[in-house]
Chains A and B, each alone.
Chain A
Amino acid sequence: MSLTAPLAGLGQSVLRSRALAALTSPHGVDRYLEQINPMWAATEVRARIVDIHREVDVPGHPPVATLTLQPTSTWRGHRAGQHVQLGVEVEGARRTTRVFTISSPDSRPGDRFQVTMRANPDGVVSRWLVERATPGTTVHLSQAQGEFVLPDRMPEHVLFISGGSGITPVMSMLRSLQRRTHRGRVTFLHYAQSPEHQIFAEELAETARTGHGVDLHLMHPELGDPNLSPAFLERLVPGYREVPTWACGPAPLIEGVQAAYDGSESLQIEYFKPPRRASADDAEGAVSFTRSGKEAPNTGASLLEQAEALGLKPESGCRMGICFSCVATKTDGTVRNVLTGEESSLPDEEIRVCVSSPVGDCSVEL
């Protein structure tokens, strides 16, 4: 390691040099390196799947798995609680990218890390990764992202609240604290459907047994445990509104937590959005153009026309779907291709706004 590290560092600075950029212009160094080995990169981040481990496998329910990833040396590491965009080539052709939370403790540049995900029945990427991917497969990554992280100086007492697969960033935090040999107190409150649905069950049981300052509460409201409420939180952690808290989970849980904290600055939250399904009728809902902050009821016309009706001037050309001048990112909602009638509900999808009309609520980066 001590020998290869300076060499790798030198290699990286050569690969990222202006001279090599000029020689490989206009395509860039990575477009050549990837032809030799997908794990060689100058700026892009990719990873090889090293291991796929089923965390939860309840018959009739979507399974949960942890993937261990060996990133390229371009990976800058992550802070516990962050997420990463992960793109896979489904059927060897269409790269589809989704965001997943990293469940392993803080990583340094080039370090292996893990993501844990539930195979969402409607999700192309998570289902493919959990059910079909095999070790050795290459995936595409972004750098780690997100502000839902622990501070460098840890407070004496912290509270973690999570629900379902929202446990992943919190687990990364807990593991990092254990690795940092955190001396303070951690109260960890987690909501799951049932003990069989518990992700990281064994590790949590071990944590509960050995203690080490972690006060663990696994709750199953469907089996009679109390729901989250200010009274319950007060009983668990007196004066909880003053305790630095990190909460992650489905929208109803987060809304409950926000209400309980009543605007307290101690609370940090992270949601995950379930994909919105298409509604039956056409011109329903509202269209919002997120960059300009404009919003209006959906008229059923193409997104380009609706944007222009609001006074926006998005780049466009042929207005018939052939020139691709007007491609924009739809962040949320369903659109119908007016040429083919095809509907699509994928989040963060590139669409041609001149031939896409919204079906129900829709957000576009314009």
Chain B
Amino acid sequence: MPTPTRPRLTPEQMEQFGDEMDAIRQRVMADLGEADATYIRKIVKAQRGFEVAGRALFYLPPAWPLAVAALSVSKILDNMEIGHNVMHGQYDWMGDPGLNSRMYEWDNVCPSEQWKYSHNYIHHTFTNVLGKDRDIGYGILRMDEDQKWHPYYLGNPVYAFLLMMFFEWGVAMHDLEVENIVAGKRKIEENKALHAGIMRKVKRQALKDYLLFPALTGPLFPMTLAGNAVANLVRNVWAFNIIFCGHFPAGAETFTAEECENETRGHWYYRQLLGSANITGGPLFHILSGNLSHQIEHHLFPDIPARRYPELSAEVQEICERYGLQYNTGRLSKQLFSVAKKICRLALPDRKADAPVDRAGVTEDALAA
């Protein structure tokens, strides 16, 4: 189904579109400096502050909700505005080993080394290309009409809920490509090397959150343990919701591998734009979302420091208007509702008579012909 609704650009327009995006990228890259460095250092300082405050407040039983809140904010900042963005190499130009994509490790059970492979490389290079971008449904969910329906997907909403609750574990398991092992496309031995990395990270995370910090609070052990677990959970739920609004709301396009063969730079930008969706909100919301509320700008310019996305947004929208391309954005509630609807709708087999043809089938026929 080569989506007929998708706006078409002539090869010349596509090239021009790419050139305009490249120009933005170059301009911002040349302008990076003290303000960007000061910003990320301020965020890091805030994150460390929230973390220390959260850990300390567990000594005051009545302040338990505050402690959990502070630790949750710390983990959200660490994973999103700092971790995700630093690991994209957005701050490599600063030359600070503490903010370097090759060295940063985040407060999350997924080892950064593995996450960078599946996220920076697989997801950001093959964004929304069916069969290549493993972030489409994470190998568990049916998030696109072109994923063939199977009775297994009746559980779509349940799987989504579980993934939300255990999101950091889902992210850690993501690289094991369990679905490809089940499908026989991947050998279980290939995971051996990954297992060691995951286990090392899991042990370290569990040791501090579920043993050492609770033990340090003595008789308050169970309270602290529960608080740390809740903070991890809050981060899971928040990250899941923000991330699911990035590529799955109605209107976000998917692409076939054939469409993307020998892809031009212009088409790559075009695909990133049409495959992503933004969330509107205030400055604090943008920071807590790691500026993934500007998923479109992030996918166009993954290595530009995220604090720049809001200022680039108007310019990108203006370009989209000129080329007649959709710029998918909306309030959090609207995007979330749209995603939830999709998760439930795709749990069921496609109703329409003109249900999309299995894409793989079409190409096989075409090849045979």
Contacts and interface: CB of A to CB of B under 8 A. Distances in A.
A320 B269 CA distance: 12
B51 to A, nearest CB: 9
B22 A339 contact: yes
Nearest to B204: A25
B208 A22 contact: yes
Contacts of A93: 32-34, 36-37, 93-94
Chain B interface bracket (under 10, 10 to 19, 20 to 34, 35 or more): 35 or more
B2 interface: no
B98 A31 contact: yes
Interface residues of A, number: 31
Contacts of B95: 87, 94-97
A22 B209 CA distance: 10
A91 B94 CA distance: 11
Interface string A313-327: 000011011111101
Interface of B: 22, 25-26, 29, 32-34, 36-38, 44-45, 48-49, 52, 88-89, 92-96, 98, 101-102, 105-107, 116-117, 120-121, 124-125, 201, 204-205, 207-208, 212-213, 216, 265, 268, 302-303
B208 A325 contact: no
A340 interface: yes
A91 B120 contact: no
B46 to A, nearest CB: 10
Nearest to B122: A317
Main secondary structure of the interface of B (DSSP, over half): helix
A239 interface: no
Contacts of B89: 324, 327
A340 B101 contact: no
Given A23-B212, A23-B213, A92-B34, A327 B120 contact: no
B94 A94 contact: yes
Interface string A240-252: 0000000000000
B116 A324 contact: yes
Contact of B212 (A19, A26, A91, A94): A19
A89 B41 CA distance: 13
Contacts of B44: 35
B90 to A, nearest CB: 10
A94 B30 CA distance: 13
B120 to A, nearest CB: 4
Interface in A59-109: 87, 89, 91-97
Given A92-B34, A95-B96, A318 B101 contact: no
Contact of B303 (A19, A95, A322, A350): A322
A89 B117 CA distance: 30
16 contacts: A22-B204, A23-B216, A25-B208, A26-B105, A26-B204, A27-B107, A32-B48, A35-B45, A95-B94, A95-B96, A318-B120, A318-B124, A321-B303, A324-B88, A325-B120, A327-B102
Nearest to A322: B302
B105 A27 contact: yes
Nearest to A316: B121
Contacts of B106: 26
Given A23-B212, A23-B216, A97-B95, 19 more contacts: A22-B208, A31-B98, A32-B48, A34-B98, A35-B45, A35-B49, A92-B38, A93-B34, A93-B93, A94-B95, A95-B94, A96-B95, A317-B117, A317-B121, A318-B121, A320-B125, A323-B124, A324-B89, A325-B120
B121 to A, nearest CB: 3
A210 to B, nearest CB: 45
A200 to B, nearest CB: 32
A87 B98 CA distance: 14
A23 B211 CA distance: 10
Interface string A9-51: 0000000000100110111000110110000000000000000
